[in-house]
Amino acid sequence: MASALKLEALTADWLPRFGQHARFEVSRHQTRISVWAADAQYQPREVHILFRHTWLLTVHAQVDKTMDQARTLFGDISDVIAPHPSFALMLVLNELLASFYPALEHVDEGLGQLEDEIFQAPDTCQWVALSAVRKYVGSLQRLWLPYRDTLSRLVVTIGGIPGMGEKELQTMRDYAERVADFVERIDDYRQRTNEALDSYSANISNQQATMINRLTLINGIFLPITVTTCFFGMNFNWMAVNMGTLTGFLVWGVGLNLGLIAGTLLLFWKIGWLGVRAASGAKPAVGPPALLSMPAPAPRQTPAGGPGMPKAGTPTPSPATAPRA
């Protein structure tokens, strides 16, 4: 194919060589792009694109479903692509980006479930799952962040691909905004994952503190009994002679220990170690009025390009300017 298309040696060598960094190089005659698509297991797969105004070549592995969808769309709008060849490139790039949307929806759903489970019953399996999510979104961020920066510089400084019309350039700007939103969403998921890991660690620490408190209470209950046992366990003849009756056993051997246990529990209850006693006349705690009067956030809009992606340029009202209920 390289011979048939009369490709240069460096270009022909670059096309099948995977494991490269983000690339969006525009020259006078061609455009070289290294980008990624998600496979069936949501793993990123590298895709190389070589574009000229007369043809478009892609080299990839294990993303056939995404490319089939791009070919289907290509056939549906072939009459639009014929006079504007750059639309074909934008179509392929948008389909490659859209292949990650189901993965992000899966991450969002999984994080929500893990966050609920952590507050209910922290478990080691949740730590393993959160670590896997953090590793996945971290890998996506390392891949797409340089690509976003390269694409932004291309759109701002160069003004797109040479030969692009105004409509094609606007499509490229929209694609750059979608990539920026995609990277921002990845960063949000990474932050949520870190917060969930912090919550997990805090809940585990609270559980350990509760267990230590229970052990401390048990030790506190048996400490006076241990003291009396050590005292009456000393081998003095006076004790053996004067406490050898059943009455002495019931009073000093049984009654004293039961009294110490009851007195210790009563002391712990009075100082609040056995439960929090509500103060007389105390009012239930409520949240700050400013937070209670804030309206619920509006649902995020989903553009036609893919599920779950916020539309670029949509302003978000700040708490200071949001209407009150």
Query: Do residue 33 and residue 166 come from a single domain?
Result: yes
pLDDT tens track for 207-261: 888 888 888 888 888 888 888 888 877 777 777 777 777 777 788 778 888 888 8
Specify if 61 maps to a domain: yes
pTM over 0.95: no
Confidence grade of residue 77 (pLDDT, cut at 50, 70, 90): confident
The domain tally of the chain equals 2
Specify if 146 maps to a domain: yes
Which CATH number fits the domain that encloses residue 49?
1.20.58.340
Q: What residues form DSSP beta bridges with 47?
A: 35
Q: What residues form DSSP beta bridges with 24?
A: 33
Query: Do residue 194 and residue 92 come from a single domain?
Result: yes
Query: Do residue 102 and residue 245 come from a single domain?
Result: no
H or E segment at 141?
Answer: helix 124-153
Query: Do residue 121 and residue 238 come from a single domain?
Result: no
Residue whose C-alpha is closest to residue 318's, from 289, 299, 297 = 297
pLDDT tens track for 41-68: 999 999 999 998 888 999 998 898 888 8
Token code pair at residue 147: 């690509």
So what's the pLDDT on residue 275? 61
Q: How far apart are CA 256 and CA 102, in angstroms?
A: 69
DSSP state of 282: P
CA 4 from chain centre, in angstroms, equals 47
Query: Do residue 172 and residue 248 come from a single domain?
Result: no
Query: Do residue 122 and residue 80 come from a single domain?
Result: yes
For residue 41, what are the CA distances in angstroms to 22, 46, 58, 93, 215? 22, 14, 21, 20, 47
Q: What residues make up the domain containing 31? A: 9-204
Token code pair at residue 276: 């929090």
